[in-house]
Amino acid sequence: MERAVIQNLNNFVGKEISLKGWLTNKRSGKGLEFLIVRDGTGYVQCIVNEDDVNEKVFNIAKSLSQESSIEISGLVVKDERQVGGYEIQLDNLKLISEASAFPITNKPHGVEFLMDNRHLWLRSKRQWAIMRVRNRLIFAVHSFFQNEDFIQMDAPIFTGNAVEGTSTLFESKFYDETAYLSQSGQLYGEAMAMAMGKIYTFGPTFRAEKSKTRRHLSEFWMIEPEMAFFDNDMNMDLIEKFIKHIVKEVRDNCSFEFEILERDTKIFDKIIEDEFPRLTYDNAVGILKGDEKVDGKTTIETLENDLILVLEGIKDKSKEIEEAEKTIKGGVKKGKRNYLQNKIDTIKNEIKDLEERKRVIPQWVESAKKFKYGSDLGGSDETVLTRMFELPVMVYNWPHEIKAFYMKRDADSPEMAKGVDLLAPEGYGEIVGGGERETDLNLLIEKINEHKLPMKAFEWYLDLRRFGSVPHAGFGLGLERMVAWVCKLKHIRETIPFPRMYGRLFP
């Protein structure tokens, strides 16, 4: 008998196999037990028929607790209706370890409870799907850059200098010196690009963000390519090609995962095919404030229309609930009642989301109208702006005063810097930040002083401009923001196995 894993069951149809895994769910019928088993590669239903197995095996099956580890053997049959498309007719079952009462059941649980049990929550189906999408994205990142002849480099984690401002530094000790956990590998990436031409880092980065938001982690993974002899236009071309590649990879390889996540993947087709809009900061602000139109509409009109739809949605859904409740009151069978009760719960959650939109849309409109030219785009500004497009949007040429010290100033309009942000659609906002780097030694020194950074810590960085300085550019993609968007998750905490964020160090 061959040992199989669930994702390869297609090779074993009509054959006897053995398989090791965990019991994730179970139901009973007359003389039958239906076990849903997971083994890390997938899910499969095993049927235990009282007439086909010995009494001992049937009794084990009957009393098996959720998450017990087991070894089973049986016949693989094809069955399109079952999870994964196959079923196992079980003929033997061995208990490896019986699980105590598992804290995470099919009942709804609060998020804090799930987060406290993250080490166990990772076993549930949605989390399984998210981690597999994350894995595929990581694979796609490497395949993209390796095929483009980039050299992967590892930047240090202990660093002596800030990169992205001093307000989010985690301070640490490095023997007798003060060190900081890296906010970005970029400066080291620039040094390496001068040695190798094109490089990319892919490592953990740390930012002390003393607030709880749905898009900030204290520890996140960043992909940072850096290219010698690139200007910001070439940089933007690369960002677009890169995002198209990794989106295509997950679209083509993660359909089962997206099905579990109920993620409609139609939007990916357009992203892979169509050119991303590129707006200057000036254009973006014009659109945001409603002074410029997109497809004949202003942001204000679009959002006012959205609000009308939200209000109608709340009315329709409330009516649906009323009707379902009336049906239940009128008396229905248990099965139907459960079905309707579930439906009511789902609609209630949908209404909650709509109520939230009803609350925030007017606030978004207000703050968009009041946006002050020269300031940075806030989260809601990004949402409003990207609401006008179905594709990721690039915003480039930013006021230099709101960007990092290393950004290249635009010779034609010196108040601007050649930075670029990529904003994801569907309200996800900034997923990429990057730009061309300053090559003028004196301007760079001026900027380091302006930002009150310790010049001594940057002497090595300034050397890159002293010895064969060349135009160069790069960007950083936050992996977790990418996972959150492609999986359409409400919160970034589910995108990484063990999130580190304000107020969360365990497990």
Q: Given candidates 37, 140, 365, 432, which one binds ligand 4AD under the rule CB under 6 A?
A: 432
Binding mask 300-329 for ligand 4AD (x = CB under 6 A): ------------------------------
Nearer to Mg ion, 44 or 222 (CB): 222
Binding mask 403-442 for Mg ion (x = CB under 5 A): ------------------------------x---------
480 binds, among ligand 4AD, Mg ion, none (CB under 5 to 8 A by kind): ligand 4AD
- Cβ burial, residue 476 (10 Å; 0-12/13-18/19+): buried
Four-CA torsion 486, 487, 491, 497, nearest 10 degrees:
-110
Note the Cα 202 to chain centre separation in Å. Answer: 16
Asked if 475 is part of the footprint of ligand 4AD (rule: CB under 6 A), the reply reads yes
CA gap 463, 440 in Å, rounded: 12
Asked if 21 is part of the footprint of ligand 4AD (rule: CB under 6 A), the reply reads no
- The residue sitting closest to Mg ion, measured at its beta carbon, is 433
* Residue 223 Cβ vs ligand 4AD, minimum distance, rounded to whole Å: 9
Residues with Cβ within 8 Å of residue 253, at least 6 apart in sequence:
136
Phi, psi (rounded to 5 degrees) for 28: -120, 145
Nearer to ligand 4AD, 88 or 431 (CB): 431
Binding mask 150-189 for ligand 4AD (x = CB under 6 A): -------------xx-------------------x-x---
* Residue 421 Cβ vs Mg ion, minimum distance, rounded to whole Å: 6
* Residue 196 Cβ vs Mg ion, minimum distance, rounded to whole Å: 25
The CB density around residue 149, as the number of other CB atoms within 10 Å, is 9
The DSSP string of 222-262 is EEEEEEET--HHHHHHHHHHHHHHHHHHHHHH-HHHHHHHT
Asked if 433 is part of the footprint of ligand 4AD (rule: CB under 6 A), the reply reads yes
Q: Which of residues 202-241 bind ligand 4AD (CB under 6 A)?
A: 207, 209, 216-217, 220, 222, 224
Q: Identify the CA nearest to 224 among candidates 419, 438, 474.
A: 474
Question: Which sign does the torsion angle of CA 129, 131, 132, 138 carry?
Answer: positive
**SS3 state at 208:** coil
Asked if 84 is part of the footprint of Mg ion (rule: CB under 5 A), the reply reads no
Task: Give 202's DSSP letter.
Answer: E
What are the residues binding ligand 4AD (CB under 6 A)?
163-164, 184, 186, 207, 209, 216-217, 220, 222, 224, 430-434, 474-476, 478, 480-481
